[in-house]
Amino acid sequence: MNNTRRRFIKSGLLGSAAVAAGCSTEVSLDDDVQTAAWRPLRILILGGTGFIGPHMVKEALRRGHEVELFNRGKTDSELFPDLKLYVGDRKNGLESLEGGEWDAVVDNSGYVPRYVEESARLLAPAISHYLFISTISVYGDFSQPIDEDTAVGTLEDESVEEVTGETYGPLKAMCEQRVVSEVGAARTTILRPTYICGPGDRTDRYSYWPVRTMRGGEMLWPGTPDDNIQIIDVRDLANFTVDCLEMKINGVYNTVTPKGAFKMGTLLEDCLAVTGADTTPTWVSTEFINSNEVGASGGLPIWEDPNGESSQLLTVDGSRAAAAGLKNRPTRETARDTISWWKTLPADRTASLRAGLSPEREAELLASWHDRND
Ligand SMILES: NC(=O)c1ccc[n+]([C@@H]2O[C@H](COP(=O)([O-])OP(=O)(O)OC[C@H]3O[C@@H](n4cnc5c(N)ncnc54)[C@H](OP(=O)(O)O)[C@@H]3O)[C@@H](O)[C@H]2O)c1
């Protein structure tokens, strides 16, 4: 990035990002960074072996940075045999990190405010920059337009630590606040991704669509081709994460595909194009979906009723991150690479999808739809 661009970021956008994080608007890019030559960073990743972590590790290594990991050694422990691993559990043991020093930490595995606070407190003197992976679920009301200044959700009882569908968002919001208060806003970046997808996704929420399309036959599609959806390709998130570390971009950023740019119809076109499958879509009405309770949490992942109480979940404003450098690859590339990755998985993993309609349920719904409408 050239200096002109850096100055633009400093004077224009990150100020408002900092306000959203409860930060001073004075600080955006580190003054050192504006003139310093690129240098390799020493990066610690809390949770580098889940879904998103490995993409960040690989991107940071590809750019010449040094990466170290902290986790329990339970998940994919064979993935990075050459990287230094500090073994520990965030819940009861950060000792292995004591005495270490890093330029930056990426926190992928923070869900409970108390544990995030403990790691942020321990690491604050040992790092220059703390990047916390949060979520758009932090927002309190999805019926209104959302940008980074929208109020976050809260818990009536702030001592709750159990992560459930209801508490996940407010807990992540509290985690964000704890990082800012321990590390300081000027050294903190908070990324709020929407549905993260692409190779390695263990939820199958996005993967359902291309993988189901690949099976062929008549396929149920909810709502209309014009309904908005939003995703973030895990590799785009990883690229932006490393950009933020390299350029010391601080503040709060929604990390999403551009608002209004990705539609259910585009997803269908992507799925058909990358699978070449003989699949016939049948679009069923939102009313039919609602009456059968098969919306986003009931069988049709990612899609939302455009007039429902979460209608704005899939039209989050991501312009601040885009202006700071987040680049979204074409969604077709995400579909293509998801299918390529899926084909490499063992049969016991691909035998059934972890999200989406089962073949039986889909057939039942389609039969019911045709009964009513044909
Ligand atoms: N998936 C999405 O669509 C989505 C959307 C928005 C935001 N996010 C955010 O993205 C992150 C999830 O990424 P992910 O799915 O890759 O991660 P994840 O499955 O939550 O975390 C996995 C990583 O964290 C380590 N880990 C888990 N529990 C730990 C503990 N108690 N102590 C130390 N290390 C621990 C795991 O290694 P060990 O098991 O070896 O410890 C592994 O390296 C979360 O912050 C989530 O809120 C996800």
Q: How many angstroms does the Cα of residue 273 sit away from the middle of ligand 1?
A: 32
What is the reported pLDDT for 22? 37
Write the DSSP string, 193-253: ESSEESTT-SS-TTTHHHHHHHH-EEEEEES-TT-B---EEHHHHHHHHHHHHHHT--EEE
Confidence of residue 37 (pLDDT cuts 50, 70, 90): low
Confidence check: pLDDT of 35 > 50: no
What is the reported pLDDT for 349? 97
Residue with CA at minimum distance from ligand 1 atom 35: 71
Q: Which of 56, 57, 58, 71 to probe ligand 1 with, by most ligand atoms within 8 A of CB?
A: 71
Confidence of residue 19 (pLDDT cuts 50, 70, 90): very low
Q: How many angstroms does the Cα of residue 222 sit away from the middle of ligand 1?
A: 30
Which ligand 1 atom sits closest to the C-alpha of 77? 40
Q: Which of 69, 89, 109, 133 to probe ligand 1 with, by most ligand atoms within 8 A of CB?
A: 109
What is the reported pLDDT for 116? 98
Question: CB within 8 A of 362, min separation 6: which ones?
Answer: 219, 220
Residue with CA at minimum distance from ligand 1 atom 18: 50
What is the reported pLDDT for 299? 86
Residue with CA at minimum distance from ligand 1 atom 11: 108
**Rounded alpha-carbon distances, angstroms, from residue 144 to 166, 252, 344:** 18, 19, 41
Which ligand 1 atom sits closest to the C-alpha of 72? 41
Which ligand 1 atom sits closest to the C-alpha of 205? 3
Q: How many angstroms does the Cα of residue 111 sit away from the middle of ligand 1?
A: 9
What is the reported pLDDT for 297? 74
What is the reported pLDDT for 294? 86
Confidence check: pLDDT of 10 > 70: no
What is the reported pLDDT for 310? 92
Confidence check: pLDDT of 296 > 90: no
- What average pLDDT does the chain have? 91
Residue with CA at minimum distance from ligand 1 atom 41: 72
Confidence check: pLDDT of 21 > 80: no
Span of 16-25, 80-89, 220-229, 253-262 with lowest mean pLDDT: 16-25
What is the reported pLDDT for 289? 95
What is the reported pLDDT for 203? 97
Domain ranges for the chain: 6-198+231-255, 208-229+259-314+330-367
Q: How many angstroms does the Cα of residue 213 sit away from the middle of ligand 1?
A: 29
Give the pocket of ligand 1 (CB within 6 Å): 47-53, 71-75, 89-91, 108-109, 133, 135, 172, 193, 195-196, 203
| Sign of the four-CA dihedral 223, 332, 217, 358 | negative
Q: What CATH architecture is 6-198+231-255?
A: 3-Layer(aba) Sandwich (3.40)
Confidence of residue 29 (pLDDT cuts 50, 70, 90): very low
What is the reported pLDDT for 47? 96
The whole-number average pLDDT for the span 117-135 is: 98
**How many other C-beta atoms lie within 10 A of the C-beta of residue 345?**
10
Span of 75-79, 178-182, 271-275, 331-335 with lowest mean pLDDT: 75-79
Q: Which of 77, 108, 116, 134 to probe ligand 1 with, by most ligand atoms within 8 A of CB?
A: 108
What is the reported pLDDT for 255? 98
Confidence check: pLDDT of 38 > 90: no
Confidence check: pLDDT of 34 > 50: no
What is the reported pLDDT for 92? 86
Q: Please report how many Cα atoms fall inside a 13 Å half-sphere around the Cα of residue 116, on the Cβ side.
A: 26
Q: How many angstroms does the Cα of residue 173 sit away from the middle of ligand 1?
A: 16
The whole-number average pLDDT for the span 223-241 is: 98
Confidence of residue 13 (pLDDT cuts 50, 70, 90): very low
Which ligand 1 atom sits closest to the C-alpha of 137? 6
Confidence check: pLDDT of 16 > 50: no
